[in-house]
Structure 1
Amino acid sequence: MKDKYGREINYIRISITEKCNYRCFYCMPQDDDIDVTIAEKEWISSQEIIKLVEMGVQLGIKKVRITGGEPLVRSDIGDILKGISSIEGVEELCITTNGSLLYEKLDILKKYGVTRINISLDTLSSKKFKKITKVGDLERVWLGIKKTLESGIEVRINTVIIKGINDDEVEELANLTKKYKLDLRFIELMPIGEGRNYSGLSGVEIREILKHGGLELYNLNKQEGASEYYTLKDGKGNIGFINPLSNCFCSECNRIRVTSTGDLKQCLNKKSNLNIVEFMRSGIAEEELLEIISNEIYNKPKKHLFNSINEKEEKLNMNKIGG
């Protein structure tokens, strides 16, 4: 369906857990005494997730992305994917992961119809990877990436460049697209939760680094959702730029989000107006529930307000929103 600004909303991102086996410093508080998770009994259930997608399809949803936290920590991930992939009308089923469990879980993802896997990876240095994630094993992640490439499932690596942390790796990361048939996407650091404490590089700044390093970008004139794609000479894959802060793409936004506790979010930047799972559990009629969801989609805000102070700004960390 369309919102009141005429945007076709056909994409839903569902966080199935805020739990993560990493603790990246720009995503979560680093104090071990700070609890960053909630009780599993409060998570949206596999049956509720499937029902939510079924209703979404009735409203025009065609693409589903499963996120977290780290979605692969859920023991019922297979049931969730199986149920979604069986819904007529779902054209794309994707998942975003930190890659830590990808090697072990890939067969389940392939079996139940995952068409694309996005892996969050900010460095190619094992030492730096441990610093960023606190507990991560870079070698294990690469085993999962290589296995996924061999499986034929499309691979996208999402990279956030942070000043003083990994801004010396821009060229090396970009060169992955010369070696592997994958998309490497540079995503601007979002000023959400712990991310407010750090400074990221804009897409323009990253392009300048590549230019000074002798890496010429060839514009593919390809725009896919939030991403604008380029390639390097002799590149096997593509380089994407997602620049929500320096180049707002809200006029093209086609998505809504649901958190692991069922909050329906019209925009990443905006606090949720309602908890859709509470309505589902109340026994409300499906027709009425569809009307409630339709109203939220229709009233999706015109644009984010990341660059301004506003009372409706989301204060949660990314793991609790859904990456």
Structure 2
Amino acid sequence: MRALPAHPENSDTGRALLDPFGRAITYLRVSVTDRCDFRCVYCMSEDMAFLPKRDLLTLEELDRICSTFIAQGVRKLRITGGEPLVRRDILTLFRSLSRHLDAGDLDELTVTTNGSQLARHARDLAACGVRRINVSLDTLDADKFRRITRWGDLTKVLQGIDAAQEAGLRVKINTVALKGVNEEEIETLLEWAHGRGMDLTLIEVMPLGEIDGLRIDQFLPLSLVRARLASRYTLSDLDDRTGGPARYMRVKETGGRLGFITPMTHNFCESCNRVRLTCTGQLFMCLGQEDAADLRAPVRASECDEPLRQAIVDAISRKPKGHDFIIDRRHARPALSRHMSVTGG
């Protein structure tokens, strides 16, 4: 498999990206595809229309944009989708980006995945310098898993997690809390994850994209979940930060870490250090806002990185203070029409 060409780095390496509120942007989440081999009920409609492949950034263009961000102070890259590991030749991008780890310009290269392709990719990811991954998993019940994902195979995901741990990758489990679906299984998931040395992060369902059904019927406030867990376990707040929006607690009885991501009940924007790049080259400065900057145009217009660098600087200057997610109870419509798989999970 051919390697991506090393693109000349931006020479302006000493300047950090600062937003209007003085927050340094050091974390870039990159969606490499909007496609996924699952159709999770809170994320997609069953009959999804995916983007034409010609609209997607090439792997070379993705590498160039990521490298330009790194030259301006980004220290963490997370590769997302859709399901990133279904993109053809995706390991080529990981191998190319690993040069920034080797050079010391990047602290972490990581990935969020549904785990379906992990069994065959885990060792290669580790060889590219990936040290930890997030796996999205909402239940340990095979029948329920198929209902949530519509056609996912839990056995393959569990085999992928096994392969990842065998390859030396640290695994964190991400679980979307769904009212009436998996809320009674959270304790089981917690003890299973911690029993295998994995962190567990619980996530409130987000009002992004049209789905089949109503999100108000799915929404489970994590404040209620936390109160219930506190009646059974000894929970203590931690100051740990991994660059994302989770707040962490230590569970005394299991010794493991438990995270909470609460975009609905507790806005986590005050320390936001991240932006999101879509697979079509749109840069979203905030997950919960529609404002985006087109980075595909400057990449394709010039081989010089300066127009791209300036487009990034201009975009960061528009980063808002925070989002205002609301599940519309009157009209049952999402806060934003785009799906999470387009923006990047």
Q: TM-score range by the shorter chain?
A: over 0.9
Where do 1:231-270 residues align within 5 Å?
A: 231-270=250-289
Structure 1 residue corresponding to 2:234, chosen from 216, 224, 228: 216
2-structure distance, mates of 1:131, 1:307: 26
TM-fit CA distance, 1:107: 1.5
The answer to whether the 8 A contact 1:177-1:236 is kept is no
Q: Which deviations, in whole Å up to 9, do the C-alpha atoms of 1:23-51 show, x marking residues without a partner?
A: 11111112x3xx42112222111111110
Partner of 2:297: 278
Structure 2 residue corresponding to 1:106, chosen from 104, 118, 122: 122
2-structure distance, mates of 1:237, 1:249: 22
Return the letter of the residue paired with 2:229: L
TM-fit CA distance, 1:126: 0.4
TM-score in terms of structure 2 length:
0.87
Partner of 1:84: 97
Q: Is residue 53 of structure 2 the alignment partner of residue 40 of structure 1? A: yes
TM-fit CA distance, 1:199: 3.0
1-structure distance, mates of 2:67, 2:184: 45
2-structure distance, mates of 1:186, 1:23: 20
Return the letter of the residue paired with 2:340: M
TM-fit CA distance, 1:5: 0.2
Partner of 1:306: 325
1-structure distance, mates of 2:149, 2:339: 15
Partner of 2:167: 151
Partner of 2:307: 288
Where do 1:54-73 residues align within 5 Å?
A: 54-73=67-86
1-structure distance, mates of 2:172, 2:118: 13
TM-fit CA distance, 1:234: 4.3
Structure 1 pair 254–20 and aligned structure 2 pair: CA distance change class (3 A): same
The answer to whether the 8 A contact 1:66-1:94 is kept is yes
Q: Structure 1 vs Structure 2: percent identity of aligned residues?
A: 38
- Once the two structures are overlaid, the 10-residue window that deviates more, 72-81 or 235-244, is 235-244
TM-fit CA distance, 1:183: 0.8
1-structure distance, mates of 2:188, 2:21: 40
2-structure distance, mates of 1:299, 1:6: 12
What is the DSSP-based 3-state SS (H/G/I as helix, E as strand, rest coil) of the residue aligned with 2:164?
helix
Return the letter of the residue paired with 1:77: I
Partner of 1:191: 207
Structure 2 residue corresponding to 1:137, chosen from 139, 149, 153: 153
1-structure distance, mates of 2:169, 2:117: 16
Q: Is residue 167 of structure 2 the alignment partner of residue 167 of structure 1? A: no
TM-fit CA distance, 1:272: 3.9
TM-score in terms of structure 1 length:
0.93
Partner of 1:319: 341
TM-fit CA distance, 1:117: 0.7
Partner of 1:93: 109
- Matched pairs, number: 316
What is the DSSP-based 3-state SS (H/G/I as helix, E as strand, rest coil) of the residue aligned with 1:19?
coil
Structure 1 pair 228–277 and aligned structure 2 pair: CA distance change class (3 A): same
The answer to whether the 8 A contact 2:298-2:307 is kept is no
Return the letter of the residue paired with 2:35: K
Q: Is residue 45 of structure 2 the alignment partner of residue 29 of structure 1? A: yes
- Once the two structures are overlaid, the 10-residue window that deviates more, 35-44 or 132-141, is 35-44
2-structure distance, mates of 1:273, 1:173: 36
Unaligned runs of 5+ in 2: 1-16, 329-334
TM-fit CA distance, 1:236: 4.6
The answer to whether the 8 A contact 2:233-2:253 is kept is no
2-structure distance, mates of 1:175, 1:202: 21
Q: Which deviations, in whole Å up to 9, do the C-alpha atoms of 1:178-215 show, x marking residues without a partner?
A: 31111100011111114662432222111122134x22
Q: Which deviations, in whole Å up to 9, do the C-alpha atoms of 1:97-140 show, x marking residues without a partner?
A: 00011111112211111121100001111010000001111111
CA root-mean-square deviation = 1.7
Return the letter of the residue paired with 1:45: T
Q: Which deviations, in whole Å up to 9, do the C-alpha atoms of 1:118-174 show, x marking residues without a partner?
A: 000011110100000011111111111122123221111110011111111111111
What is the DSSP-based 3-state SS (H/G/I as helix, E as strand, rest coil) of the residue aligned with 1:26?
coil
What is the DSSP-based 3-state SS (H/G/I as helix, E as strand, rest coil) of the residue aligned with 1:160?
strand
What is the DSSP-based 3-state SS (H/G/I as helix, E as strand, rest coil) of the residue aligned with 2:121?
helix
TM-fit CA distance, 1:282: 1.6
Unaligned runs of 5+ in 1: none
Return the letter of the residue paired with 2:93: I
